[in-house]
Amino acid sequence: MRYYLSLFIALPLFVSCATIEPQTGPQTPTTNADTAEPAPIVQIPPQTETKTQVIGDLWDRIRAGFNIGTFEHPRIQQQLDWYARHPDYMDRVTERAGPYMHYIVEAMKANDIPLELALLPIVESAFKPFAYSHGRASGIWQFIPSTGRRYGLSQNWWYDGRRDVYASTQAAISLLLNLKRDFNGDWLLALAAYNSGSGTVHRAIRRGKYKNAATDFWSLNLPKETRDYVPKLLALKQLIEKPEQYGLHIQPIPDRPYFERVDVGSQIDLAVAAEMAAIDLDELYELNPGYNRWATAPNGPNYLLLPLDKSTQFKDRLAQLPEQDRIRWVRHQIKSGETISTIATKYNTSIETIKRVNHMRGNMLRVGHALTIPVASKSPSTYSLSANQRKQALQNTPHTGVKLTHIVQQGDTFWELAQQHKVGVRQLARWNGMAPRDPLTPGQKLVIWSRTGLSSTSDDHNDVAAPPRRTITQRIGYRVRPGDSLARISQKFKVSIQQLKSWNKSRLRADSLLRPGQSLTLFVDIMGQSGL
């Protein structure tokens, strides 16, 4: 899903995102709610536990809070059959939901929302905190960027509130309350709008009224993904309500808070925070997936979600640690040719952070002057769930084809690159931790597992031999000179004639003769060229 709510709280609030499980799960649609009305103030329940509290199974509370109604429909049964055939899927989802579900249930009860809706993250993301869809939706609630911003979820180099479980849950609740009001209390229509946007649902209702047809959810002519979306949730409700009827055992989740929200008060290195809380750094990231880098955001939010049994120890140690010691600092002397961008990249920090720390108004640097820069206390690989490391892991996962690194040029698009290398657009985006609609920036590096020329038995002479393994592959434009031939150009740039033909199908004549002044496109290994 992707919406954003006006949070009045003290925080900024595939594969496919929509794909719950790429190999075994049903396709989950992308949510595209579009209401812009402000919602009521969301009630935020405290996450505390009393010593006398009796701990039961959270699923029992969820069942007791079901309040949407019972429905029978072939579309529900179809989804039920799938879930019932994949008990291992429900086991994985339950395990991932464990740290978050109690907070979600408490937040929904505090805002008088039926607890069927606590199951929505299963439909949206399978409770994967780092889920990112081809529709640019992110987090367990799957907000798209614009909806996230509209509902107070900040998105910057350091932090993405759409993945912040605490903040995005508040945003999702506000959105759901808006949609309920927009559709006069009809939760099925509200859920459909959560997926495809209120405008889509209202238009379907108007079409139905124009034809004097029924306008309930089951009768509306909605996009296929939305027609499947609501039945998925209702199927999950029936499954959770009577798992034994479907031969399933739902793993219990303790009915008690899992985490405490701790106000840190300043930026802190996440590796330092994990050591202070005596937890694994990956566990800290999984509870705080909104943080993109090696530290919390310098301009906030300044809080961490910590396991309840570790929070007291952390707060005691934090009180003894001065703010200046929560981040490691280095002094960098500016050298000739350096820019603020290259320095930021070197130290894995942002341009804005360097400028803020050093009280800079512009980007001008003076050779010999020094900059104070915040840096990670550990090596980059230690922060294995940071945005950079997750992206590298995606890029380094072996795939069919030849691995290339492409430097994005002005005018490049995912579609053109995918066509060039005979791969899918979504595949190409996924390999680089992106969505197909994400913008490409000149100079950006993309990993491409090129499948050009893999079919060696083909008689089609347009098939291109697989290019050699190379370090950096760059697209360049070449102007044909007098005396040039395909053979001479292929030798000069260390590429094959067949590659030249494939890259320039629309430019070359049938006889492959070249004309002086003619433009050609080449993909060359810039690390292996000596005259470029």
List active site positions: 124
How many residues belong to the chain? Answer: 532
Give the dihedral sign, CA 146/152/157/163.
negative
Beta carbons within 8 Å of 46's beta carbon, 6+ residues apart: none
Indicate the pairing of strand 303-307 with strand 259-263: antiparallel
CA 220 to chain centre: 31
Beta carbons within 8 Å of 519's beta carbon, 6+ residues apart: 477, 478, 479, 480, 507
Taking Cα atoms as reference points, which of 425, 409, 521, 503 lies closest to residue 465? Answer: 503
Integer Cα distance of 351 and 360 in angstroms: 10
Cβ atoms of 111 and 42 closer than 8 Å = yes
Integer Cα distance of 127 and 96 in angstroms: 6
DSSP 31: P
Integer Cα distance of 524 and 474 in angstroms: 5
Taking Cα atoms as reference points, which of 462, 458, 447 lies closest to residue 401? Answer: 447
The helix/strand count (H/E) of the chain reads as 19, 8
Q: Which helix (H) or strand (E) element contains residue 515?
A: none
Cβ atoms of 190 and 176 closer than 8 Å = yes
Three-state DSSP state, 259: strand
Q: Where are the extended beta strands (E) located within 205-299? A: 259-263
SS3 of the chain: helix, strand, coil, percent, to 5: 40, 10, 50
Three-state DSSP state, 523: strand
- 156-168 burial, b for 16+ CB within 10 Å, e for fewer? ebbbbbbbbbbbb
φ and ψ of 484, to 5 deg: -70, 150
Neighbours of 263 (CB within 10 A): 13
Three-state DSSP state, 351: helix
CA atoms within 13 A on the CB side of 144: 21
Three-state DSSP state, 364: coil
C-alpha R_g of the chain: 27
**Which residues partner with 375 through β-bridges?**
328
